[in-house]
Amino acid sequence: MKITNIKSTTVMIPLEAPLRHSNGAHWGRFVRTIVEVETDEGITGFGEMGGGGESAEVAFAGLKPYLLGHDPFQLEEMRFKICNPTASLYNNRTQLHAAIEFACLDIMGKKLGVPVHQLLGGKVRDSVSFASYLFYRLPNERTGEGEIRTVEQLIEHCRELKEKHGFTTHKLKGGVFHPDYELECYRALGDAFPRDRLRFDPNAALSVEDSIRFGQAIEGLNNDYFEDPTWGLNGMRRVRSMVRIPTATNTVVVNFEQLAANILNPAVDVILLDTTFWGGIRPCVKAAGVCETFQLGVAVHSSGELGIQLASMLHMGAVVPNLAFAADAHYHQLQDDILEGGKMKYENGAIRVPDGPGLGIQVSRDKIEQYAEMYREFGGYPYDRDPSRPDWFPLVPNERWADHRVKSI
C-alpha cells in the first residue's frame, strides 16, 4: 500500500465558554487541524493536530515529498524518515508525525478490518474513565453565560458535570487567581465531593515555595496527584521532597530523554502521556512500558481534542495496563465535534473504546466543511493571552494573578 496524498483542513469548534489557564485562555473555541492521508487502495486515514491555519496546512503539505509512496504500515521507517532525533533539532515535526501516525494506524485498521487497539497488542479495558476538567471560565461572548469564578459557581459546575457525565474524579485547572484563593476553591471541592478523587494543575505557575505551601495544605484530601505546580524538573524535585502527594507532569517529561533523566534523578511520580506531544500513540505505549518497568504512574493528558484525537487517547488508554488514573479531556467543554452524530458520549464518567476498524470513528466531511468555514470567519486566537486582560502576560513563577472578586467581561 502506498500513501498518495496528504490533506489538511483547519477547523474551529465553539466551546461552552472561554477556558482560563495560567498563560491566558482558550478564547471560546478550539482550533484544530484535521489531516487526511489517502492511499492507492482508496482507504483514507484521519489524524488531528492542535492549532492550525495556513502555517499548519503548509507544514503538512511539506511532508508530501517525504511520504508520497510510503507504505502506511511502515511506521518505524516513517518515524526516522521525518523525525530523526538529530534532524529534528532543525525541523521539529513531532506533532506533525503524531497526526500522520494516527492516520496510518487508522488506514492499517481499516485495511485489516480491526480496531487500532488490536494493532497495539489488544485492549485490556473496554472503556476509559475520565476526570471532569474544571476550568475557571470567562462568560460566553454571545450569551454572557458560563462564567466560573466564584466558589459557588465552581461547585455548581462540578455538580452539573458529575450528574450529566458521571465523573468521580475532578481536576481543577488553576494558575489563574492567587494561590490562596485557588486553595479555598480546591478545598471546597473536597468538602462538596468527599468520596471523589481530586487533582490540581496550575500549569507550573507557582513558585517552589508556594507549591510546597499549597501541597502541604491539601495533603489530607483525596488527591490523585499534584500536577505541574511549578516549572522545571529541579523545581518539581524540591516540591516532591516536601509534599506527601505524588507529583505529575505533562510539561517537563514529554520525551524519552526527559523520561530517562526523571528515572535517574526522580522529580515526577506520574507521567501524563499525550498522544500529540509524544509524537503518536505508539510512543506513548512505549513510554508507558518504561514507566511500568520503573513503577512510575501513568495518566492520559489532554491538549484539547476533537473526536479523532480523542479516539487516539481511547485506543492508547485501552492497551496500557498500568493506566491507574482517570484520563483528562477537555472534550465535555466542546459544543460539537466533527464526528457523524456529534460528540461521543460519557457513560458513568467513561467513554467506550471504539471497536470498529481503524480508529473506529465516523468523521463527517460536512462538519469538517462547516467548521472550516467557521474557522475562516473567526480565525485563530493567541493561547498565551487573556481576552479579559489585553495587556497582561504572566511571569514564571507568576505573581500577576487575576482578581477573583471582579466579574470578568
Contact by Cβ (8 Å): 329, 305 = yes
Spell out the residues 6+ positions from residue 212 whose beta carbon is closer than 8 angstroms to its own. Answer: 238, 239, 242, 243
Q: Which is nearer to Mg ion, 147 or 201 (CB)?
A: 201
Q: Which is nearer to Mg ion, 48 or 201 (CB)?
A: 201
Q: H/E element holding 226? A: strand 223-227
Q: Per the residue annotation, which of 123, 173, 315, 404 is the catalytic one?
A: 173
CB of residue 250 vs Mg ion: minimum separation in angstroms? 4
Site for Mg ion in 244-273 (CB under 5 A): 250
CB of residue 135 vs Mg ion: minimum separation in angstroms? 12
Residue 201 as a binder of Mg ion (CB under 5 A): the answer is yes
Task: Round to whole Å and give the CA distance between 51 and 381.
Answer: 9
> How many residues of this chain interact with Mg ion, rule: CB under 5 A?
2
Q: Per the residue annotation, which of 97, 165, 171, 301 is the catalytic one?
A: 301
Site for Mg ion in 315-354 (CB under 5 A): none
Q: H/E element holding 14? A: strand 3-14
CB of residue 368 vs Mg ion: minimum separation in angstroms? 28
Strand locations in 29-126, DSSP E?
A: 29-39, 44-50
Q: Which is nearer to Mg ion, 201 or 269 (CB)?
A: 201
Q: Which is nearer to Mg ion, 8 or 250 (CB)?
A: 250
Contact by Cβ (8 Å): 176, 63 = no
Q: Which is nearer to Mg ion, 250 or 275 (CB)?
A: 250
Phi, psi of 134 (to 5 degrees): -95, 125
Is 301 an active-site residue?
yes
Task: Round to whole Å and give the CA distance between 16 and 139.
Answer: 9
- State the distance between the two ends of the chain, measured CA to CA, in whole angstroms: 54
CB of residue 228 vs Mg ion: minimum separation in angstroms? 5
Q: H/E element holding 233? A: helix 233-242
Is 286 an active-site residue?
no
CB of residue 50 vs Mg ion: minimum separation in angstroms? 14
Query: Cell triple for residue 367?
Result: 462538519
Q: Which residue has the cell 467581561?
A: 409
Residue 207 as a binder of Mg ion (CB under 5 A): the answer is no
Task: For strands 29-39 and 247-249, give the pairing.
Answer: unpaired
Residue 305 as a binder of Mg ion (CB under 5 A): the answer is no
Q: Catalytic residue numbers?
A: 173, 301
Residues that bind Mg ion (CB under 5 A): 201, 250
